[in-house]
C-alpha cells in the first residue's frame, strides 16, 4: 500500500509531535524533512555539495535539534539547488510500501502534491515561541524574534514558500492540547485510509 500523509507548518506548531503520533498509530514510516535541511546546515561548507552528499548517518547527528541547527536549516532551505537535491530523497521516502508520514514546510505543496492527506499545523507566533523557549531555554523575547524572522524567511522565499496546500486541513494548535490536536489529525487520516 502506498499512502502518503503530508504534514506542513511553521516551527513549534506541533507538526513533528503530531506526525510521529500518526505514524505510530497507523503503522506508517515517518520522515522529519526538516532534519535533512538541519543536517545540510550543520555539515557546513558548500550547502549544495552538502545536500548532494547527504547520507542517513548525517541525519543521526545529536546536534540537529539545536536552535543553531534550526537557524542554519532555514538559511540553506532558501537555496533552490539545495531544495532540488533533497526532493528526490523525500519523494522516494513518500512512495515506500506501507505508507509514510512526512512533515516539513512544502510537503503538501511541492514534494507530495498528490498526498492522500494534507495537514497544515499552525499556531500563533507567540505560542510557538513560548513552546520553543520551554524546550530550549534562552530569553523568551529573543526566541520570539527568531521565530518571527524564520517565519518571514520561510513564507517569503521564492522557491517553495511555507503555505498550506489548497486542499490541506488546517489545524490551529494555539489553544489545543496535544492530545486534541493528534485526535483531530488522526480523524482526518482515518477518513482517507483505504478500507
Per the annotation, where are the binding residues?
Answer: 9-17
Residue 95 has a CB neighbour count (10 Å cut-off) of: 12
Binding residues for ATP: 9-17
What φ, ψ does residue 80 adopt, rounded to 5°? -55, -40
- Element containing residue 56 per DSSP (H, E): none
CB 37 within 8 A of CB 86: yes
What φ, ψ does residue 30 adopt, rounded to 5°? -130, 135
The whole-angstrom separation of Cα 97 and Cα 29 is 9
Cell of 169: 486541513
CB 30 within 8 A of CB 125: no
- Residue 70's Cβ-side half-sphere holds a number of Cα atoms within 13 Å equal to 16
Helices (H) and strands (E) in the chain, counts: 8, 5
Amino acid at each position: 500500500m502506498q499512502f502518503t500523509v503530508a504534514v506542513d507548518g511553521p516551527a513549534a506548531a506541533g507538526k513533528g509531535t503530531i506526525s510521529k503520533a500518526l505514524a505510530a498509530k497507523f503503522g506508517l514510516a515517518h520522515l522529519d524533512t526538516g532534519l535533512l535541511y538541519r543536517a545540510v546546515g550543520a555539515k557546513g561548507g558548500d550547502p549544495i555539495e552538502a545536500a548532494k552528499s547527504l547520507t542517513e548517518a548525517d541525519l543521526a547527528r545529536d546536534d540537529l535539534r539545536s536552535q543553531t541547527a534550526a537557524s542554519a536549516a532555514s538559511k540553506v532551505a532558501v537555496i533552490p539547488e539545495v531544495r532540488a537535491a533533497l526532493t528526490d530523497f523525500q519523494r522516494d521516502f513518500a512512495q515506500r510500501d506501507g505508507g509514510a508520514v512526512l512533515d516539513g514546510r512544502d510537503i503538501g505543496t511541492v514534494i507530495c502534491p498528490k498526498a492522500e492527506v494534507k495537514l497544515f499545523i499552525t499556531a500563533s507566533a507567540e505560542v510557538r515561541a513560548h513552546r520553543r523557549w520551554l524546550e530550549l531555554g534562552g530569553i523568551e523575547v529573543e526566541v520570539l524574534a527568531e521565530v518571527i524572522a524564520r517565519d518571514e524567511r520561510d513564507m517569503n522565499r521564492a522557491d517553495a514558500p511555507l503555505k498550506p496546500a489548497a486542499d490541506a486541513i488546517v489545524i490551529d494548535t494555539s489553544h489545543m492540547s496535544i492530545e486534541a490536536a493528534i485526535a483531530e489529525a488522526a480523524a482526518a487520516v482515518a477518513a482517507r485510509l483505504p478500507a
